[in-house]
Amino acid sequence: MTHLNRYTCEEAFRRLDDYLDRELSAEEMTLVHEHLEICAGCAREFNFEASVLRGVREKLQQIDLPDSLQARILAALGNARR
Amino acid sequence: MYPAAPAVDSVWAGWASDFSLELFWPGRHYRSTNPCRLIALRRTVHDMPTESDSLMDDRPAERTATAQAAAPLGADEFQALLVEVLPSAFGYALRLTRNRADAQDLVQDAALRAFRAMKTFEAGTNFKAWIFRILTRCFWANHRRRQRRPNTVDFDDTPDLYLYARSAEHGLPWQGEDPARTLIDRLGTERVSEAIGQLPEEYGVVCTLYFMEEFAYHEIADVLEVPVGTVRSRLHRGRKMLQKSLWYLAEESGVVSELTQREGDA
């Protein structure tokens, strides 16, 4: 790939969310990745954003199912089946 | 809604002593350590997706899962699939209702409705997304009675990279290996949950499905019965709002001062 095919900072930044969510095409993912390999500024910002997403995700996924809920729902379904 | 970009001569940019770039934008102050961002930021404002959609949007969601010709779901099979998704369904319901008792009622209500409608489930499609769609409908129809807490954060005109920029202003990004992680960890689960709860409802719901369930855009669209483009734009804005909300809580709770102090002592 030549430098003519490379993304600028602007082009890479516009794809930040989709890149982090893997919602880009394979070609676009590669182009963003290549830009991040040569641009320390963008790489720092992308890494920061990715870390925020990971951190928030881990915090929000720490929820336990109440012990009684499953039994309560299965009992309700049992009644509905009769 | 995003404001029109100011004229070129109203934007002042200069090099700070630490060679980072400061951009003074009417109504905001953005400081980037990446010089290329000056141009990117200006153009990004024009390229932002517009939020013209609303919760009243009733266009059909994009269907990506392929339904297979198969026997309808049996009661036992339904129950087995339901048990698998109950923990995440409760987590989602808790985010919607913000109350454990209401969340349990909502999940039970949705489970019963799903059971009665199980013949409409298309075998081979995403069961979890189907349950979540029913749960969301139940919430809108019957469980949305509690007044939401008034927002304490002004989300208008939240710039990109908000948390990064504010952290940089306080010298936080340069602490340790993973500064964002340090900030989120110090905030803790309760405050991160509160930050999501601060978001306007249509953004909070999308962010909840995205962060908690790791649904792809098309799956969130399927659950909420809106187009994928709507999910993308709400998620884009919702993430920015969330960062502002997180920073607000970090300042309010003293996490920012604590980390700044620690950096000063180091």
- Contact A20/B at CB under 8 A: no
Average pLDDT over residues A50-71: 87
Q: Which amino acid is at B13?
A: A
What stretch of H or E contains B24? strand B21-25
Query: What is B213-224 written as a DSSP string?
Result: H---HHHHHHHH
Instruction: Name the nearest CA neighbour of B104 among B119, B88, B93.
Output: B93
Residue of B nearest to A12 (CA): B40
Tell me the per-residue pLDDT of A8-51, one tens digit each, with 9 for 90 and over: 999 999 999 999 998 999 999 999 999 999 999 999 999 999 99
Handedness of CA B60, B239, B25, A13 (dihedral sign): negative
The answer to whether residues B210 and B236 touch, using CB atoms and an 8 Å cutoff, is no
- Contact B253/A at CB under 8 A: no
pTM for this predicted structure: 0.71
C-alpha distance from B170 to closest chain A C-alpha (Å): 15
C-alpha distance from A27 to closest chain B C-alpha (Å): 19
Sheet holding B21-25, edge to edge: B12-15, B21-25, B28-32
- Which residues touch B42 (CB under 8 Å, ≥6 apart)? B5, B11
Q: Which amino acid is at B75?
A: A
Architecture (CATH level 2) of domain B55-266: Orthogonal Bundle (1.10)
Q: Which two tokens stand for residue B222?
A: 């399927």
- Contact B156/A at CB under 8 A: no
The verdict on a CB contact (< 8 Å) between B37 and A62 is: no
Highest mean pLDDT among A48-52, B21-25, B55-59, B163-167: A48-52
C-alpha distance from A52 to closest chain B C-alpha (Å): 6
Is residue B253 helix, strand or coil?
coil
- Contact B40/A at CB under 8 A: yes
pLDDT band for position B265 (cuts 50, 70, 90): low
A74 neighbourhood in chain B, CB within 8 Å: 79, 83
Q: Which two tokens stand for residue B170?
A: 């306080």
Look at residue B169 in the predicted model and tell me its pLDDT.
85
Look at residue B73 in the predicted model and tell me its pLDDT.
76
Instruction: Name the nearest CA neighbour of B245 among B149, B158, B147.
Output: B158
Residue of B nearest to A73 (CA): B108
- Contact B176/A at CB under 8 A: no
- Contact A67/B at CB under 8 A: no
Domain boundaries along the sequence of chain B:
1-48, 55-266
A49 neighbourhood in chain B, CB within 8 Å: 161, 164, 180
Pairing of strands B21-25, B12-15: antiparallel
Domain around A68: 3-81
Look at residue A56 in the predicted model and tell me its pLDDT.
94
Out of A27-31, B203-207, B255-259, which region has the weakest mean confidence (pLDDT)? B255-259
ipTM of the complex: 0.83
Q: Is the pLDDT of residue B17 over 80?
A: no
C-alpha distance from A26 to closest chain B C-alpha (Å): 16
C-alpha distance from A32 to closest chain B C-alpha (Å): 14
Q: Where would I find the H helices in A1-82?
A: 9-14, 16-20, 26-38, 40-60, 67-81
Per the structure, the count of domains in chain A is 1
Q: Is the pLDDT of residue B194 over 80?
A: yes
A25 compared with B44, residue with greater pLDDT: A25
Look at residue B225 in the predicted model and tell me its pLDDT.
92
- Which residues touch A15 (CB under 8 Å, ≥6 apart)? A7, A24, A28, A32
